[in-house]
Structure 1
Amino acid sequence: MRSNPLSIFLSKPHRSFLLVLDLVFSIAALYLAFFLRFDGTIPEEDVVVFQTVLPFLLMSRAVCLIYLGFYNRFWEYSSLEDLFQIVKGVLLSSLVAVSVLFFYNRAFHIPRSILVIEAILAITFLGGSRVFWRFWKERKKKIVQSASGCNTLVIGAGDTGAYLLKYLKKFSSHYRVCCFIDRDPSKWNSQLMGVRVLGGMDKLPEVIQNYEIKEVLVAINQIDSDELSKIVGRCQMLGVKCKLASSVKDISSQNIHINQIRNVEISDLLGRDPVSLDLQAIQEMFRGKTVLVTGAGGSIGSELCSQILEYHPDRLIMVDKGENYLYDLNLKVRLETLGTKTHCVFCSVTNQKKMEAVFQEYRPDMVFHAAAHKHVPLMEENVDEAIHNNIFGTRTCAELSERFGVERFVLVSTDKVVNPTSIMGMTKNICEKILQFKSSSEDTRFITVRFGNVLGSNGSVVRLFKSQIENGGPVTVTHPDMERFFMLIPEAAQLILQAASLGEGGEIFLLDMGKPVKIVDLAKRMIRLSGFIPGKDMEIQYVGLRPGEKLYEELVADGEEERPTSHKKIKRVLPPCRADQEFMERMTQLCDDVGTATLETLESNLKSLVKSSGSRIMETDPILLGGDPSSGLAPEESKD
């Protein structure tokens, strides 16, 4: 219900003072209008007209200004829209006053020129007073900022830079923007909202020294990661902080709004391009569907849930055996769900009876299977758990999906299935083979999505390095030549959904991971981002490969063939052969042996099963092994 403008006006005593001031301006405007109309000498008969018009004008102006909400505005932030309100209030009140006088006395006459002059003067007085008030407040704020603000350089004098400056002037006294620098020579030696654009990036050291800059804000939309790395590196060498001004573009109005000013993160320096999606295909895939996500509390699983909710399926079933993960996820999705019914199921995918009950109750149309144990060193010592959770859990979910008529089953796989050296890689290799065997299913499309490490996931190397840096070091790296493929969590989830929409059944989709990143380079970048110099302020220790780890990860196995798809960041991998019935029987026996056979027997049988399917097992060079198993690289997260 809309509030009464009069009650709002009366709620603040200072508004009465503003009204009186505006009425004084109106008196002055009317008098000056008569004065100018009659060249400084107002005839006696027109003095009577002035005295007659004045009370009607003042009453109508007061009423119009109050009911137009003129005194409910923050005039220190006045804009063209507010000026339009002044024009509307003045013209409307003049029209009301003249109309009332006309009906009161039809013989009454006032020169039209006086009305025009009065309106112009009133708009000037009322508008000018507001502009002066805004100018005075901004001037006062500048004085405060000059005394307490941090000398700041903004890189980027475009739209984002302009909105950043406007944002800082209004809402932040911490930053005092001294100048801009920009890549565009046409902007050099000009001014942006009163702040000089001094030149290009070559001016950075000179500007920082001459203006005693303490912080640099990068205000460039979609800046290239290499360019950002250079800016961050130069700022660190010059002893100043470098931050990013994140902006959000309002598509409806094409305006850019500053979202936040934040520290540069390692993900900003990876150089991952934004993902382009076929939104209509994904939307159609989820329309009216019930979707089940296993490992929903993990890094990939929780991001999948968030992104799936954006497409408004009918129901989302989130399954995880981690109580805290599931609780946090439930709190998160409450804020994101719009018409989608969500259910949290506290259950392990290895609990066959409970999972059967879940499928029976909810009858999912789609299953995204992200549940898996993924810590390589831990699985080397817990072969039984790796087999039980990864292989038996996948087989259980796949069989239930086929039995209950699930339309699509999507397995979240890993690059560690390629020529595996680790127990974890071998178990996920078997999971891919299970889906290949079931690809002949008429009712269910079984789809595999394979990709490398995700940056910032639970237990990732980024979190490990961050913790070590915060504790003063040293930063532990397994080997100076170790490389890994990385992508961002949201990017991985987006491409999983896109791959799911492309799948017809039996495909292995490979996500574009870009170029591999040396782990030691990643460590050095993170050390520099924290304001330290690698090898000087923060030591890097090489601890040696742990059992099951490789120096280099691969994305395609021997004999596999890559094929393009309709999406440039997704390729299809054709395996040289598919699993047969004998393979499935041996896999079942391996799962049944968990709990009875020794770990050594389980490991031997697991390797034999992987080799029987045509995969090559690589052995880690013993010379490269070493170090504390609890330190070094922790490449991926554990989701279930």
Structure 2
Amino acid sequence: MKQTFFHRYLSAKVLPIWTILLIDVFIIVISCILAYALRYDFRSIFLEPSTIDKTVLWTVVVNLIFFRVFRTYSNVLRFSSFVDILRIFVALTVSYALLMIMSVLTASYWEFRLAPISVLFMSYIINFAMMACSRVVVKTVFEALNFDGTHSANVFIYGAKEAGVNIAKALRVNLRNHYRLRGFIADEPELINKVMMGVKVFPNDDTLIDVLNDRDVQTIIISPAKMEELKKSDMADRLLVHNIKLMTAPPLSEWNGQALSPTQLKEIQIEDLLQRNPIEIDIHKVASHLEGKRVMITGAAGSIGSEIMRQVASFNPYKLILVDQAETPLHDIRLELQDRWRDIDTETIIADISNATRMEDIFREFKPQYIFHAAAYKHVPMMEDNVSESIQVNVFGTRTMADLAVKYGA
């Protein structure tokens, strides 16, 4: 038992426990003296030293007992949390409540006197404030000294409720040298424009891309609770078109009580966004068809068309004919091709597939042998309000592509 006591309280490995206790005892003494000075004046400290001495002694002894009961000193200061502050609050509340009872009893039945209740109450307030602040200051200073933000990525978290907040806490505590939280994204109106964990909650609307650009954010971590909503909305398409990386974390139940690690944050793949099981295809057979062929991709600047382009480019086609009516995204695709597949002969063409004359000119000039038709309006709620354009592109445009494919033997 003596050996256990030695290793627990006297070993150098647990020296911080004594450091914390000494700091807390010093705070108790200072709190008592300040309470006397505020209640009366500083001269009272010297005029009635015996009363003050007894008050300080009993306050230290009683508090140490309840510090031991509630284990306020067992935590590592730099990892202090709300639970640790709550333990301090409970321990001090019980201690000073007992001291106030003792003050009444000593004044009525015993010869020696403790400080009056007003002084003890003021000491209680000062004591709690100083102990809580000491934890916060140590934690803040430690985090500031150990923060290396040179390689950290700015991130938003989609989901401002429990799951998203847990991810944010993990970023702040364990992954702060990898990711810097710059904001939350929420669908709930009651959360939008509020401030959580020191950052703002932004709406999931058409202004989101501008907000991300203003804050230099290229990564969004999707809360597990928001994955189903992500699959059903057009949010992923809007973000992927602007090269925003989407990542997600496992549900809290899979953390097994451990801190979130960088390896647990996974980049979301296209297969993760499907509302069905992915279709397995024979890649080697596809490669044998496309290698050395002229391949046309419509809607090549979109999220689906651009991914088709990347996969087709890896099969070494003879020529790529990329068609889209969106100028800037198609220009980005062109730059990507020049960077990664410089040797592939590529034509990037601005055209509308519903313009039959223009499309026939393209077929006549380039004679594609394979066509991946990905050009379409896909945001259903919006297109339900623009039916004529939907029919023009999705129906007549597709018919034009099918007719020309037959005519030119693609």
> Same fold by TM-score, threshold 0.5 exceeded?
yes
Q: CA deviation at 1:188?
A: 3.6
* Partner residue, 1:34: 36
Percent of pairs with identical residues: 20
Q: CA deviation at 1:48?
A: 1.4
Alignment gaps of 5+ in structure 2: 291-302, 319-410
Q: CA deviation at 1:25?
A: 1.0
User: What secondary structure, in the 3-state scheme, does the structure 1 residue paired with 2:251 have?
Assistant: strand
CA 1:186/1:536 → structure 2, altered by over 3 Å: closer, same or farther?
Answer: farther
User: What secondary structure, in the 3-state scheme, does the structure 2 residue paired with 1:130 have?
Assistant: helix
Report the AA paired with residue 125 of structure 2. I
CA distance in 1, matches of 2:289, 2:226: 31
* Partner residue, 2:227: 223
CA distance in 2, matches of 1:10, 1:98: 34
CA distance in 2, matches of 1:226, 1:126: 44
* Partner residue, 2:374: none
* Partner residue, 1:106: 110
CA distance in 2, matches of 1:138, 1:184: 32
* Partner residue, 2:168: 165
* Partner residue, 1:245: 249
The answer to whether the Cα contact below 8 Å between 1:37 and 1:114 also exists between their aligned partners in 2 is yes
CA 1:243/1:229 → structure 2, altered by over 3 Å: closer, same or farther?
Answer: farther
Q: CA deviation at 1:65?
A: 2.2
* Partner residue, 1:23: 25
Alignment map for 1:128-207 (pairs within 5 Å): 128-140=133-145, 143-144=147-148, 146-172=149-175, 173-207=177-211
- Number of aligned residue pairs: 293
2:48 to 46, 59, 69: 46
CA distance in 2, matches of 1:230, 1:125: 50
* Partner residue, 1:320: none
The answer to whether the Cα contact below 8 Å between 1:215 and 1:242 also exists between their aligned partners in 2 is yes
CA 1:81/1:189 → structure 2, altered by over 3 Å: closer, same or farther?
Answer: closer
* 1:31-54 C-alpha deviation (Å, 9 max, x unpaired): 112222224441766321112333
Q: Does 1:461 align with 2:280?
A: yes
CA distance in 2, matches of 1:527, 1:247: 31
CA 1:189/1:24 → structure 2, altered by over 3 Å: closer, same or farther?
Answer: same
User: What secondary structure, in the 3-state scheme, does the structure 2 residue paired with 1:152 have?
Assistant: strand
Q: Does 1:210 align with 2:29?
A: no
User: What secondary structure, in the 3-state scheme, does the structure 2 residue paired with 1:58 have?
Assistant: helix
Alignment map for 1:420-499 (pairs within 5 Å): 461=280
* Partner residue, 1:602: none
CA 1:533/1:227 → structure 2, altered by over 3 Å: closer, same or farther?
Answer: same
Report the AA paired with residue 160 of structure 1. A
User: What secondary structure, in the 3-state scheme, does the structure 1 residue paired with 2:265 have?
Assistant: strand
Q: CA deviation at 1:73?
A: 0.9
Alignment gaps of 5+ in structure 1: 251-256, 273-453, 479-523, 542-640
* 1:443-473 C-alpha deviation (Å, 9 max, x unpaired): xxxxxxxxxxx76xxxx827x65xx7xxxx9
* Partner residue, 1:8: 8
CA 1:209/1:474 → structure 2, altered by over 3 Å: closer, same or farther?
Answer: farther
CA 1:54/1:93 → structure 2, altered by over 3 Å: closer, same or farther?
Answer: same
User: What secondary structure, in the 3-state scheme, does the structure 2 residue paired with 1:271 have?
Assistant: coil
Q: CA deviation at 1:231?
A: 3.8
Q: Which consecutive aligned stretches of 4+ in structure 1 deviate over 6 angstroms post-superposition?
A: 3-6, 524-527
The answer to whether the Cα contact below 8 Å between 2:92 and 2:128 also exists between their aligned partners in 1 is yes
User: What secondary structure, in the 3-state scheme, does the structure 2 residue paired with 1:136 have?
Assistant: helix
CA distance in 1, matches of 2:78, 2:154: 24
Report the AA paired with residue 132 of structure 1. V
* Partner residue, 1:535: 312
CA 1:88/1:226 → structure 2, altered by over 3 Å: closer, same or farther?
Answer: closer
CA distance in 1, matches of 2:158, 2:225: 11
The answer to whether the Cα contact below 8 Å between 1:185 and 1:200 also exists between their aligned partners in 2 is no
CA distance in 2, matches of 1:58, 1:539: 79
CA distance in 2, matches of 1:166, 1:38: 44
CA distance in 2, matches of 1:45, 1:6: 42
The answer to whether the Cα contact below 8 Å between 2:160 and 2:184 also exists between their aligned partners in 1 is yes
The answer to whether the Cα contact below 8 Å between 1:188 and 1:200 also exists between their aligned partners in 2 is no
CA distance in 1, matches of 2:60, 2:100: 8
1:57 to 59, 69, 88: 59
Q: Does 1:271 align with 2:275?
A: yes
CA 1:221/1:16 → structure 2, altered by over 3 Å: closer, same or farther?
Answer: same
Q: CA deviation at 1:29?
A: 0.8
Q: Does 1:127 align with 2:132?
A: yes
CA distance in 1, matches of 2:62, 2:190: 52
Report the AA paired with residue 533 of structure 1. R
Report the AA paired with residue 78 of structure 2. E
CA 1:49/1:267 → structure 2, altered by over 3 Å: closer, same or farther?
Answer: same
* Partner residue, 1:420: none
The answer to whether the Cα contact below 8 Å between 2:231 and 2:275 also exists between their aligned partners in 1 is no
CA 1:44/1:218 → structure 2, altered by over 3 Å: closer, same or farther?
Answer: closer
User: What secondary structure, in the 3-state scheme, does the structure 2 residue paired with 1:107 have?
Assistant: coil
Q: CA deviation at 1:527?
A: 8.9
User: What secondary structure, in the 3-state scheme, does the structure 1 residue paired with 2:227 have?
Assistant: coil
Report the AA paired with residue 161 of structure 2. G
CA distance in 2, matches of 1:263, 1:477: 31
CA 1:75/1:538 → structure 2, altered by over 3 Å: closer, same or farther?
Answer: farther
CA distance in 1, matches of 2:26, 2:119: 18
* 1:486-514 C-alpha deviation (Å, 9 max, x unpaired): xxxxxxxxxxxxxxxxxxxxxxxxxxxxx
The answer to whether the Cα contact below 8 Å between 2:186 and 2:203 also exists between their aligned partners in 1 is yes
The answer to whether the Cα contact below 8 Å between 1:156 and 1:218 also exists between their aligned partners in 2 is yes
CA distance in 2, matches of 1:258, 1:540: 43
Higher relative contact order (CA 8 A, sep 6+): 1
Which stretch of structure 1 is more off in the superposition, 87-96 or 16-25?
A: 87-96
Q: CA deviation at 1:147?
A: 2.3
The answer to whether the Cα contact below 8 Å between 1:9 and 1:71 also exists between their aligned partners in 2 is no
CA distance in 1, matches of 2:289, 2:9: 66
Task: Compute the RMSD of aligned alpha carbons.
Answer: 4.3
